[in-house]
Structure 1
Amino acid sequence: MDSLVKIVGSLNGFIWGPAMLIMIVGSGLYLTIRMGGFQFRKQKDMWSRIFEPGDSDSGISAFASFCTTMAMRVGTGNVAGVAVAIYYGGPGALFWMIVAGMTNSAVCFTECTLGVLYKTRIDGQYRGGGPYCAERGLGWKKYGAFMALIFMIGTSAFMPAAATYTICDGFNNALGVEMWVSALIIAIVMAIVVIGGVKRISQVASLIVPFMVTVYLIVTIIILIVNIKILPGVLYDVVTHAFAKNAIFGGTIGVIIQQGIKRGTFSSASGMGESSPTAAAAETTHPVKQGMANAAGVWLDTVIVCTASGLMMLLTDCFNTSFGYVGSGSAELAALAEAGTNGVIFVQLATQTVLGNLSHIFIAIMLALFSFTCLISYYYEAETAAMYLFQKESQKSTRKVVTWIMRIGMPILIFIWGNIESSVAWDLSDLALGTCTWVNMLVVMMLSSKSISLYKDYDEQMKKGIDPYYDPDRLSWKGVDVEMWKDINKKRIEENKNK
């Protein structure tokens, strides 16, 4: 096991090095500039697209797609991930996490818009995502197969490690529940949900996500109100330490930026290809509509929920750094610093200041909801990748077999991940996330001009007062399923021709 930890750690050091930061931040800035900072100017439009009407036998509604995507985004990274970022990077990491969320929303918009553009129907359901874009948009069939294999293994086998461990750890801290017991329960419930396919997954996500986000933010607001007098000082610390100007927390600016962007990317999943399969499953008249909805999702996830977690810890002084305890007298935190313990426990201690003894149970439940919705979203992404590998009509029976193997195999792995060490769980998830991001971002940036053209088409229709729809006769490229899009917008296209 020690050898495995060292290998995974070395790979993460390479994958998450300076090149990753340059790629993510650089791509986000480039796309933001090319589309005129739409994520700042089009806030109202972005949020309204979440509730875009539409549903069919082939696809799910925009809201269901949004919730399924948010099920993956609002998860482990929003609680434990923020705590880990502050532990290694200090309060300044929160600043760079917010910046990453703002620019990453342009990356997410691009990959989701492309996912919808190049989607197709397999067994009567919409399927799309990075591998489909690689083959259909670039003609890279072999690379598409490589992507699909990486995504299938990454999201089904390794990505769930951190989410599973976090649920088990939360209940172990709050109620003393044995890790293996929680892991077994998660595995069983997971199997029940994924057997129902994308419809059941989206129904569960639509039920859980709005509730869990609302409750979590209410608790944050209470903590903000209770500590409102020290809020300006905390915000000052966040900004000054972001540029390594507050020596008390230690750390170099490189580590601070790395932790903020790394955890911000993990939380939003922008650029790693997680959100585009679910975006492609939506019934929509224009690819940009779902791109807008998912861009709003990054703001909700990283800019709002991650900030909420960070402020909880900083306002209540319930955090440590890797350089030791820097607080003002908590014996418990000093002991945690001595032991090198970090993560969920920081948020549990923060909520304890307003919820008392109920805080540990509250965070355990929130983590269970956050992380479980991550797991069901991971499954759908893995299944979509598998469908790409066996998409031929002659492979229909193979698709069924592979689907059932995943429905059984993933819960078994989830049980295993609930019984390993925290560092191993996070390292495995980071490895999967980083690898998927590298292979996906190449395709996203190669096809980004298509997304930009679609945005311009969408914007022009909006300015004319038209409810935007995609007409492949007006704007199309090789690889787009023209027949499918003409079927989706048949009525609108015919109406336009008759004018």
Structure 2
Amino acid sequence: MAALESLISAGNSLFWGIGMLIIIVGGGLYMTIRLGFFQFVHFKDMWKRIIDRQDSDSGISAFASFCTTMAMRIGTGNVAGVAVAIYTGGPGAMFWMTLAGMTNSAVCFTECVEGSLFKRRVDGEYRGGGYYCAQNGLGWKGYGTFLAAISMIGIGLFMPAAATNTICDGFRNALGIPMWVSALVIALIMIVVIWGGIKRISQVASAVVPFMTVIYIACTIIVLVMNFTRIPAVIVEVVTCAFGKNAVIGGGLGLAITQGVRRGTFSSASGMGESTPTAAAAETTHPVKQGMSNAAGVWLDTVIVCNCTGLMILLTDCFHTASGYVGSGDPSLATLAATGTNGVIFVQLAVTHVMGAIAPTFIAIMLALFSFTCLISYYYEAESAATYLFQGAEKAGARKAATMFLKIAMPILIFFYGIVKASLAWDLADLALGSITWFNMLVVLCLSGRVIKMYQDYEKQMAAHVDPVYNPDVLTFKGVDNDLWKEINAKKLAK
């Protein structure tokens, strides 16, 4: 096991080095500039696109797609991930996490527009993803197969590790429930949900995501009000630590940046392609509309919810860092620091200041909702990759076998991940995220020129005060299923 952990750690060092900063932050800045800072110019429009409820037998509504995507985004990374970032990189990690969220919204927009543009109808449902984009948009069929294979394995089999382990850890901290018991319950519920397909997954996400997000933000607001006088000092603390100017409490400039970008990327999964399949599954009249909706999701996830977690921890001083700082917000912090314990326990201690003894249980329940919606979304991403790998009528049997394998293997692994060491669970998830992001971002950037032209088409129609509709007779590219888009927009194009 020690040899395996060392190998996984080496892989993370390779994938999460300076190159990741360049490809994610650099790619985000590039697209932000090329798209005229759309995430600020069209800030209101981004949020408006979320509530589009148009759907069909083949696709789900933009709202359902948004909730399904947010089910994946608002999860482990927003709670335990932020706590881990502060422990490892200091408060300054929050600064770089927020910056990464703003630029990552451009990356997410780009990949979701691509996913929607190059989607196909398979077995009566819209399917898309980085692998479809590679094959249809770039003509890289072999690369698409490779990307689908690592996506199915990484997202379906390794990404659930952190989410599962964190849920179990939360209930152990709050109620003393053995981790294997929580893992078993999660696995059983998972079986019920994923056997219902994308419709049931989106229904569960649409019901749970808005509720859990509002409750969590409300809790943060209460902490802000109760610690209002400390807010200026905390902001100064975050900024100084972000640039390595507070060695006592911070983790240094390098760690602050890498942890901030890593956790910001883990939280939003921008560049990894996780949101692309659900973007493709949406019934929309123009790919840019879906890109806007998903870009808003990154703001909600990384800029808003992650900062909610970070502010609760910092304002209550309920944390310690790897560099030696021990907060004064709770008497147990010294013991936690001595044993190196960190993660969701920071948030549970912080919320205790607001809710008292019930706080650990409240956070455990919220974390269970956050992380479980992540798990069901991971299944859909993996299923989409499997569908691509075995596309075509002649491979229908293999396609069904692959999805059956995922439906059986994921719950089994979820039980296993509930009882492994937390460090191994996080390292596995990081390895999956980092490796897939590298290969997916190549496709995203190579197709970015198409996205810019699609955005220009969208802006032209918006300037003419008409509801944007994609017409492949006016603008199209090699690999786009023109007949599919004409069918989707038949009524609007006939006017």
Normalising by structure 2, report the TM-score: 0.99
Q: Is the 8 A contact 1:34 1:452 kept in 2?
A: yes
Q: Is the 8 A contact 2:92 2:250 kept in 1?
A: no
How far did 1:251 drift? 2.7
Post-superposition Cα deviations, 1:227-275, rounded to whole Å, max 9, x if no partner, equal 0011111011111111111222243211110000000000000000100
> Aligned partner of 1:328: which letter?
S
Counterparts of 1:58-457 in structure 2, within 5 Å, are 58-328=58-328, 330-457=330-457
Gaps of 5+ in 1: none
How far did 1:53 drift? 2.9
Gaps of 5+ in 2: none
Q: Is the 8 A contact 1:28 1:103 kept in 2?
A: yes
SS of the aligned residue for 2:332 comes to helix
| In 2, Cα distance between equivalents of 1:189 and 1:77 | 21
| In 2, Cα distance between equivalents of 1:250 and 1:484 | 53
Instruction: Give the match for residue 47 of structure 1.
Output: 47
SS of the aligned residue for 1:475 comes to coil
SS of the aligned residue for 1:263 comes to helix
- State, as a whole percentage, how many aligned pairs show the same letter: 65
SS of the aligned residue for 1:249 comes to coil
SS of the aligned residue for 1:378 comes to helix
Q: Is the 8 A contact 1:390 1:399 kept in 2?
A: yes
SS of the aligned residue for 1:272 comes to coil
How far did 1:490 drift? 1.1
Q: Is the 8 A contact 2:251 2:321 kept in 1?
A: no
| In 1, Cα distance between equivalents of 2:437 and 2:332 | 38
Instruction: Give the match for residue 27 of structure 2.
Output: 27
Post-superposition Cα deviations, 1:286-327, rounded to whole Å, max 9, x if no partner, equal 000000000000000000000000000000000110022332
SS of the aligned residue for 2:272 comes to coil
How far did 1:22 drift? 1.0
How well do the aligned residues superpose, as a CA RMSD in angstroms? Answer: 0.8
How far did 1:329 drift? 7.1
Q: Is the 8 A contact 2:190 2:376 kept in 1?
A: yes
SS of the aligned residue for 2:212 comes to helix
Counterparts of 1:452-467 in structure 2, within 5 Å, are 452-467=452-467
Aligned residues, how many? 495
| In 1, Cα distance between equivalents of 2:258 and 2:409 | 34
Q: Is the 8 A contact 1:248 1:326 kept in 2?
A: no
> Aligned partner of 1:429: which letter?
A
> Aligned partner of 1:167: which letter?
I
Post-superposition Cα deviations, 1:328-358, rounded to whole Å, max 9, x if no partner, equal 3743111111111110000000000110000
Counterparts of 1:477-488 in structure 2, within 5 Å, are 477-488=477-488
- Runs of at least 4 residues off by over 6 Å: none
Post-superposition Cα deviations, 1:148-192, rounded to whole Å, max 9, x if no partner, equal 000000011100000000000000110011111100000000010
Q: Is the 8 A contact 1:325 1:333 kept in 2?
A: no
| In 1, Cα distance between equivalents of 2:284 and 2:493 | 14
1:15 correspondence with 2:15: yes
Q: Is the 8 A contact 1:325 1:334 kept in 2?
A: no
| In 2, Cα distance between equivalents of 1:259 and 1:406 | 31
Post-superposition Cα deviations, 1:359-380, rounded to whole Å, max 9, x if no partner, equal 0000100110000000000000
Post-superposition Cα deviations, 1:92-118, rounded to whole Å, max 9, x if no partner, equal 100000000000000000000000000
Q: Is the 8 A contact 2:241 2:252 kept in 1?
A: no
> Aligned partner of 1:96: which letter?
W
Normalising by structure 1, report the TM-score: 0.98
How far did 1:400 drift? 1.6
How far did 1:3 drift? 0.5
| In 2, Cα distance between equivalents of 1:296 and 1:135 | 28
